[in-house]
Structure 1
Amino acid sequence: MISNRKLEHLLLCAHCDVQYKNKTTGFEDVELIHRALGEVNKKEIDISAEILGKELQSPIILSAITGGHPAALAINRELARAAEKMGIGMGVGSQRAAVENPELSSTYTIAREEAPSALLIGNIGAPQIEYAPQAVEMIDADALAVHLNPLQESIQPEGDLDARGYAKSIGEIVKTVDVPVVVKETGTGISQEDALILEGKGIDAIDVAGSGGTSWAAVETYRADDSYLGELYWDWGIPTAISTVEVCQSVNIQVISSGGIRSGLDAAKAIALGADGVGIALPVLKEAYMGYKEVIKVIERFQESLKSAMFLVGASNLEELQNSSLVIRGKTREWLKERGFHTEDYARRL
């Protein structure tokens, strides 16, 4: 049953070790160039951003986490309260459960009730064309996320193993709804090749959701009777920093960087690599159990550490941060070089 699966996912993410084991986001290989003569007043740094047509007070989106089980209502309520208070974005979890069982719709609609003016992003799977209009209407969504999760599907006992026609389906979803469409992975990243295909389908943004944070192979390993596949593919995917570069260097639509972003410094690196915004999930999920004020504390720490990074590189706004110099080293540089990306270009910005 979908609803029970949603609860299992929530509990496992909150209470079990579901992080990647031997693979990181790659942000440790990204070094922002320090400017001793930054000529910036930290108190005047502007971190506002326009994402998916909506003005945000900072480039942070509370990534799609949950919905579809009664226990999810309280989580989405607290996240939405924090998003509204802080003027940031929020995504809900896959809405399939509520489309198929309207009794569960309150676990999603609570988000708009508590965040009337926030950027709110709906969520469906790529094959669910017929669900798209209902998902948008259900929560009065400002945008619709179409999620891709082939790794998770391949491991979970009830997974959908037929991925044919996803790109075509996404193109149809774009035509079906009258809000911006963002395609997001769920923790294993998006490559240059797939980014180009997606852009060609007319979408408005890509959320790379790379590897290095929460591993959905790990989550499904705890649920499966046989853990062999989950253990084998626990660390599968494109690291977030790498996926951010691959997508930002390939398309002319907005890019959200997510997947293991744990601080404002990580966020600053992602934006300097070209992202327009960042998504965070696990850090706020655990705090949401304690209430929206604890979520706000996490967001405030993110914002303050983002401003500190901008102060240290001499960036007074996010556009200047996107044009700041950085050096890419180690495995991240090696991967990108092998894939044909010119990492030295980031170090020679003027």
Structure 2
Amino acid sequence: MTEPLIAQRKDDHVRLAVEQQHDHSGRNQFDEVTFVHHALAGIDREDVSLATSFAGISWQVPLYINAMTGGSVNTGVINRNLAIAARETGVPIATGSMSAYFKDPSCSGTYSVLREENPDGFILANVNATASVENAQRAVDLLKADALQIHINTVQETVMPEGDRSFASWVPQIGKIAAAVDVPVIVKEVGFGLSRETLRVVQDLGVRVADVSGRGGTDFARIENGRRRLGDYAYLVGWGQSTAACLLDAQGAGIPVLASGGVRNPLDVVRALALGASGVGASGGFLRTLQDEGVEALVAQLTTWLDQLAAMMTMLGARTPAELTGCDLLISGGLRDFCADRGIETRQFARRSSRTDATGAIGATDEPTGSTR
């Protein structure tokens, strides 16, 4: 494949992702997770910290800008602006797949701009499961990355006109990369979800963290089908498990999980944290803001999300993101049906706060039932 075709594909992905954001229906399975309201659970805002730690990684905030793009002139500009927004708000950021860089090193600047504009930030490089160990380390070195994402995307590759059709090598190759690179490895889906069985596989491979990245946000089956002349894979749109379902499926898996896919607002961030995520990522909504309104608007959006996240934690009585796993949750609708079929007891989530402190406020249990921590 020549470099212009790669660049065109990257630009097509951005265009089609933004189009999805503009015509999104607005509902997903996060709406089937609600908090039991305890009117005296609130604490003082000054006692709330947004800091989160997992697998030896420490972030100032539990929100991150997830993998989007890179590999063309246009996407390099997008990455520059995303990096500025991350720098101004202290939010970690991941680059998009760096496969274009391996095929054409002249596009390296469309990725390295993340570090140039955000020299002190937490940056995640991103490769696919077919990357060689050498290329995985090249990706880390180019960005001076703090962690490496390996994305797995069999559904996207299947629908992509020029996509891979050989997947058997992915498992052993992930293990080789995890053993060789000098930063933590995070395996992530691209919007179709990770099952508990997959989490066990990647944990056995030495992977430190998993981003469940479920259904509900940008749908790459739909994007790739939009690039097909006949659009003949439309029936795969909507494939996979939702992010909320993945988090419930991950209970007790023993590997720290991040959550992305269908995160629309700060309430979804709180819901994901309460379901056991150590951090929560978003991409499509942030891309739409950047493309429609510019980098200053994205900085304002991120700042608002962080402020409102802290406000909701104050209301819920959670001093840290981890303490949200002690809040009582009700699981309803199709999400409850999913849990029943997967053998997940949902009633436990409705009774996690079991003590009242000396002030009379309802607090989180020390070891909340269902936490993955």
User: Above 0.5 in TM-score?
Assistant: yes
Alpha-carbon distance between aligned partners in 1 of 2:223 and 2:90, rounded to the nearest angstrom: 31
The change in CA–CA distance for 1:52 and 1:86 in structure 2 (over 3 A counts) is farther
Task: State the match for 1:268 in structure 2.
Answer: 270
Asked if 1 retains the 8 angstrom alpha-carbon contact of 2:33 and 2:329, the reply is yes
What SS is found at the alignment partner of 2:280? strand
Q: 2:334 aligns with which of 331, 335, 340?
A: 331
Amino acid at match of 1:72: T
Q: CA deviation at 1:319?
A: 2.0
Alpha-carbon distance between aligned partners in 2 of 1:92 and 1:166, rounded to the nearest angstrom: 21
Q: CA deviation at 1:339?
A: 0.3
Task: State the match for 1:9 in structure 2.
Answer: 13
Q: CA deviation at 1:320?
A: 1.5
The change in CA–CA distance for 1:132 and 1:188 in structure 2 (over 3 A counts) is same
Matched, 1:194 2:198: yes
Amino acid at match of 1:222: G
Alignment of 1:267-346 (within 5 A): 267-289=269-291, 290-346=293-349
TM superposition outliers: structure 1 runs of 4+ over 6 Å: 18-21
Q: CA deviation at 1:221?
A: 1.8
Task: State the match for 1:86 in structure 2.
Answer: 89
Task: State the match for 1:244 in structure 2.
Answer: 247
Task: State the match for 2:255 in structure 1.
Answer: 253
Q: CA deviation at 1:346?
A: 1.1
Please give the TM-score of this superposition, normalised by the length of structure 2. 0.89
Alpha-carbon distance between aligned partners in 2 of 1:252 and 1:325, rounded to the nearest angstrom: 22
**CA displacement, residues 264-296 of structure 1 (integer Å, 9 cap, x when unaligned):** 100101000000000100111122234332111
**CA displacement, residues 3-48 of structure 1 (integer Å, 9 cap, x when unaligned):** 2211111111123568776x95411111112121124013542112
What SS is found at the alignment partner of 2:218? coil
Task: State the match for 2:366 in structure 1.
Answer: none
Alpha-carbon distance between aligned partners in 1 of 2:57 and 2:188, rounded to the nearest angstrom: 18
The change in CA–CA distance for 1:252 and 1:114 in structure 2 (over 3 A counts) is same
**CA displacement, residues 141-174 of structure 1 (integer Å, 9 cap, x when unaligned):** 1000000111111111101011112111110011
**CA displacement, residues 61-97 of structure 1 (integer Å, 9 cap, x when unaligned):** 1000000111111111111111112111100011111
The change in CA–CA distance for 1:250 and 1:3 in structure 2 (over 3 A counts) is farther
Q: 2:48 aligns with which of 45, 48, 67?
A: 45
Alpha-carbon distance between aligned partners in 1 of 2:268 and 2:95, rounded to the nearest angstrom: 23
Asked if 2 retains the 8 angstrom alpha-carbon contact of 1:189 and 1:210, the reply is yes
Task: State the match for 2:76 in structure 1.
Answer: 73
Amino acid at match of 2:200: L
Asked if 2 retains the 8 angstrom alpha-carbon contact of 1:20 and 1:234, the reply is no
Alignment of 1:159-178 (within 5 A): 159-178=163-182
Matched, 1:221 2:232: no
Alpha-carbon distance between aligned partners in 1 of 2:150 and 2:209, rounded to the nearest angstrom: 10
Q: CA deviation at 1:308?
A: 3.1
Alpha-carbon distance between aligned partners in 1 of 2:24 and 2:156, rounded to the nearest angstrom: 14
Asked if 2 retains the 8 angstrom alpha-carbon contact of 1:149 and 1:185, the reply is yes
Asked if 2 retains the 8 angstrom alpha-carbon contact of 1:25 and 1:259, the reply is no
Largest Rg, 1 or 2: 2
The change in CA–CA distance for 1:126 and 1:250 in structure 2 (over 3 A counts) is farther
Q: CA deviation at 1:214?
A: 1.0
Q: CA deviation at 1:211?
A: 0.2
Q: 2:34 aligns with which of 19, 31, 35?
A: 31
Asked if 2 retains the 8 angstrom alpha-carbon contact of 1:60 and 1:89, the reply is yes
Larger displacement relative to structure 2 (65-74 or 10-19):
10-19
Task: State the match for 2:124 in structure 1.
Answer: 121
Alignment of 1:107-146 (within 5 A): 107-130=110-133, 131-146=135-150
What SS is found at the alignment partner of 2:248? helix
Q: CA deviation at 1:193?
A: 0.7
Q: CA deviation at 1:305?
A: 2.7
Alpha-carbon distance between aligned partners in 1 of 2:137 and 2:211, rounded to the nearest angstrom: 21
Alignment of 1:144-159 (within 5 A): 144-159=148-163
Larger displacement relative to structure 2 (207-216 or 24-33):
24-33
**CA displacement, residues 235-268 of structure 1 (integer Å, 9 cap, x when unaligned):** 1110110011212x14222211000101110010
Asked if 1 retains the 8 angstrom alpha-carbon contact of 2:64 and 2:91, the reply is yes
CA RMSD of aligned residues (A): 1.7
What SS is found at the alignment partner of 2:138? helix
Matched residue count:
347
Identity %: 34
Task: State the match for 1:56 in structure 2.
Answer: 59
Task: State the match for 2:359 in structure 1.
Answer: none
Asked if 2 retains the 8 angstrom alpha-carbon contact of 1:183 and 1:207, the reply is yes
Asked if 2 retains the 8 angstrom alpha-carbon contact of 1:182 and 1:203, the reply is yes
Asked if 2 retains the 8 angstrom alpha-carbon contact of 1:54 and 1:119, the reply is no
The change in CA–CA distance for 1:108 and 1:57 in structure 2 (over 3 A counts) is same
**CA displacement, residues 169-214 of structure 1 (integer Å, 9 cap, x when unaligned):** 1100111201000000000001011111111111011011100111
Q: CA deviation at 1:309?
A: 2.5
